[in-house]
Amino acid sequence: MALSIGNAEASQDVDLKPCGHQVGGHFSSGKHAATFVDSSGKFYKAFQDDIRSAREAGIYEAIFNDSEEADVCKEDMMAFRPFVPKYFGILVNGDLKMLALEDTCKDYKKPCVLDAKMGLTTIYEWADAKYKAKNADKDLVTTQSKLGFRVTGFKVWQADKGEYFVADRHYGKELTPQTMPAALAKFGTNGLVSPFDVYCGSKGAVAQIHALKKWFETQQSLLFFAASVLIVYEGAATRAEDVNVAIRFIDFAHTFPSKGNRDDNVLAGITRLAELLQRVGEGDTQ
Ligand SMILES: Nc1ncnc2c1ncn2[C@@H]1O[C@H](COP(=O)(O)OP(=O)(O)OP(=O)(O)O)[C@@H](O)[C@H]1O
Ligand SMILES: [Mg+2]
């Protein structure tokens, strides 16, 4: 399929196929899938809404653009880069517009993926009424308002069965602070490696989330609503050394310049997520 990237100047052939490892978010966009991947290791997210998608593209541009942006601090953006997928611009094909990102799952044989939507609230004062109505209730009835995050979905490879266990958005909505540890324990094992291997240790999920937390403790550039921490590891791993955990912060459709404020809403959720993963890694699922 011939597609153009960015300002429709460069054109290239891209072999898109619907993304098989998506766990959260929109699964369709009109008559198309909502997400695609290609053989070069890129992930494509279809525009759902021009304003939100343009906003997300603007945030990625602020993160990766080396020029001084009036609204954000350049040092904050540079320090944030390791935590987000690389950004390759906007791709256009007829009426299909997509953000082109690095596919966080590209190096995995059997990617295990969990999407945790971050923040004690996903609502912002200046959001439109439709967004507020849709999300206010979800924040209250899910773990969002209690833990500062909710699981929107995960998939974990089960080595003994040779198939994935898929937790969809309904599974995530039903979770409570009491049942969350068991859910995180379920995600953290393929039956051969353990939640300790995935969550603990110097390259585990907790250490990487702590690094992200450090960034949130100092950055005063962005406020994130309804953004997610994506946790990925290798479901084909048979040894702790091969779990290859990756953490990425994604989904900037509701992200705004913070004008010198810290994002305490998301910081609270990140702190809690790291604490819970540590506990679960150490075998405490109560
Ligand atoms: N860079 C990426 N690499 C691999 N998978 C990704 C990447 N970005 C997103 N995903 C997958 O796609 C899912 C949905 O992504 P995202 O949260 O950005 O979309 P969304 O919630 O539908 O967005 P929006 O709120 O903008 O409508 C994630 O849960 C994850 O499984
Ligand atoms: Mg999302």
The ligand 1 atom nearest the CA atom of 104: 3
Whether 286 is in a domain gets the answer no
DSSP 240: G
Check residue 94 and give its pLDDT. Answer: 81
* Measured distance CA(34)–CA(19) in Å, rounded: 9
The ligand 1 atom nearest the CA atom of 21: 31
* Measured distance CA(154)–CA(195) in Å, rounded: 15
Residue 55 belongs to domain with CATH number? 3.30.200
Q: Which long-range contacts (CB under 8 A, 24 or more apart) does 162-166 make?
A: 164/110, 164/235, 166/23
Q: How many domains does the chain have?
A: 2
66 and 124 inside one domain: no
Residue 22 identity: Q
Collapsed DSSP state (helix, strand, coil) of residue 98? strand
Q: Domain end: 59, 77, 102, which one?
A: 102
251 lines ligand 1 (CB under 6 A): yes
Residue 54: φ, ψ to 5°: -65, -35
122 lines ligand 1 (CB under 6 A): no
Which residues keep their CB under 5 angstroms from ion ligand 2? 25, 251
Q: Domain end: 45, 70, 102, which one?
A: 102
219 and 127 inside one domain: yes
Q: Which ligand is nearest to the CA of 60?
A: 1
26 lines ligand 1 (CB under 6 A): yes
Q: How far is the CA of 185 from the centre of ligand 1 (A)?
A: 23
Which protein residue's CA is at the shortest distance from atom 23 of ligand 1? 25
Token duo for residue 216: 């949130």
Which protein residue's CA is at the shortest distance from atom 15 of ligand 1? 25
95 and 36 inside one domain: yes
Which protein residue's CA is at the shortest distance from atom 26 of ligand 1? 253
25 and 142 inside one domain: no
Check residue 12 and give its pLDDT. Answer: 53
45 lines ligand 1 (CB under 6 A): yes
List of residues 6+ apart from 28 with CB closer than 8 A: 34
> Which one of 50, 230, 248, 256 would you pick to mutate in the ligand 1 pocket, going by the greatest count of ligand atoms within 8 A of its CB?
230
226 and 137 inside one domain: yes
154 lines ligand 1 (CB under 6 A): no
15 and 153 inside one domain: no
**What is the extent of the structural domain holding 18?**
2-102
Return the residue matching tokens 């997400």.
35
Largest CA distance in the chain: 56
Q: How far is the CA of 150 from the centre of ligand 1 (A)?
A: 15
Check residue 13 and give its pLDDT. Answer: 57
Element (H, E) at 113: strand 111-118
Whether 128 is in a domain gets the answer yes
Q: How far is the CA of 170 from the centre of ligand 2 (A)?
A: 15
Whether 208 is in a domain gets the answer yes
Return the residue matching tokens 């924040």.
139
Q: Which ligand is nearest to the CA of 23?
A: 1
The closest alpha carbon to 235, from 107, 151, 109, belongs to 109
Distance of CA 267 to the CA centre of its chain: 15
136 and 13 inside one domain: no
196 and 152 inside one domain: yes
Residue 215 belongs to domain with CATH number? 3.30.470.160
Q: Domain end: 62, 85, 102, which one?
A: 102
86 and 190 inside one domain: no
Q: Which ligand is nearest to the CA of 34?
A: 1
70 and 127 inside one domain: no
Q: How far is the CA of 86 from the centre of ligand 1 (A)?
A: 14
152 and 265 inside one domain: yes
Q: How far is the CA of 94 from the centre of ligand 2 (A)?
A: 25
* Measured distance CA(261)–CA(150) in Å, rounded: 24
261 and 123 inside one domain: yes
Per-residue pLDDT of the chain (286 residues; tens, 9 = 90+): 444 444 433 445 568 999 999 999 989 877 788 999 999 999 999 998 889 999 999 999 999 998 777 889 999 999 999 999 999 999 998 888 999 999 999 999 999 999 999 999 999 999 999 999 999 999 999 999 999 999 999 999 999 999 999 999 999 999 999 999 999 999 999 999 999 999 998 999 999 999 999 999 999 999 999 999 999 999 999 999 999 999 999 999 999 999 999 999 999 999 999 999 999 999 999 8
> Which one of 115, 225, 254 would you pick to mutate in the ligand 1 pocket, going by the greatest count of ligand atoms within 8 A of its CB?
115
